[in-house]
Structure 1
């Protein structure tokens, strides 16, 4: 009797996925509003291991797949394009999974993560690997103003300056707004892909 491996295709597809880069792991955790300890307890890894993965000091495939699965189960999708010829990744980032066909169809938006503010400043800072004090100094904002913006506060002048700062650094903000409900779907960040 011959053994048939019906699970081969799934395992092969999983193994072919590129590892999620450290910057996208940091952005995903920031979008989810979790600490490294929260992620560690949720996926069975240690906090020290999460820290090393987010810093790019560890690149273990199984641990990376575990983190990818953890975030995808939470509703976050990872972004990026792999150039098969060069092996280069571009457009790296993370966002909340938007409803299918969004923004054209709104009827299927129930159960998808929404945000009141469509700009994920905390995730942008995490993607760039910057600390709060450095960003506040660079943008000439008080640290408390930056902290409020990162938690979803709407402050037009300061928010515009902060957005321009990240966009000048090559970060693109993602998401679509439903004006009638003042909700945003697919909120996230990524490095601007080359044109």
Structure 2
């Protein structure tokens, strides 16, 4: 990914840390993701620097301008993204399992998308993440049987 984003692996590693890698690297990474259909969300209050409702979602053909290089398989998802929610909250699978009351194996299956049949566990995991301040984004398109604009947003500014 670093090569495709035209930066070094070390810069990507630094960007993933809390103290970041600087504006130039962040700009390259943002362009890399946006050109592949990722839309970044959020607002910044200029006077305080407070970030609110930050999030990320896939491109939505109904509301967004098309990105430069959009692979066909990135325009549509099959369900909401538990992996993105877990990542935003920086939670381990074990922590999600404990907090949601769902066994770790079932959480892993739901997060990776391997389990598409456990409706009750799916709903329980959605409720758990929503209680943690996550809003799931996206719309279902009956014609294609997929979801567009799938992503997550953190509603509580105190989490960021």
Deviates more, 1:93-102 or 1:40-49: 40-49
Distance 1:51 1:130 in 2: 19
- Give the superposed CA RMSD: 2.2
- In structure 1, the partner of 2:151 is 188
Residue-pair matches, total: 148
- In structure 2, the partner of 1:54 is 16
1:84 and 2:58 are equivalent in the alignment: no
- In structure 2, the partner of 1:67 is 29
Structure 2 residue runs without a partner (length 5+): 65-71
1:132 and 2:96 are equivalent in the alignment: no
Distance 1:47 1:157 in 2: 41
Residues 73-116 of structure 1: CA deviation (Å, up to 9, x unaligned): 110010001222322111111000101348xxxxxxxx561011
Distance 2:128 2:15 in 1: 26
> After TM superposition, where is structure 1 displaced by more than 3 Å over at least 4 residues in a row?
44-49
> TM-score of the superposition, structure 2-length normalised?
0.81
> TM-score of the superposition, structure 1-length normalised?
0.68
Alpha-carbon spacing, 1:51–1:162, altered in 2? closer, same or farther (3 Å): farther
Asked which structure has the greater CA Rg, the reply is 1
Is the contact between residue 110 and residue 122 of structure 2 (CA under 8 Å) also seen in structure 1?
Answer: yes
Structure 1 residue runs without a partner (length 5+): 1-38, 103-110
Distance 2:54 2:143 in 1: 31
TM-superposed deviation, 1:48: 4.3
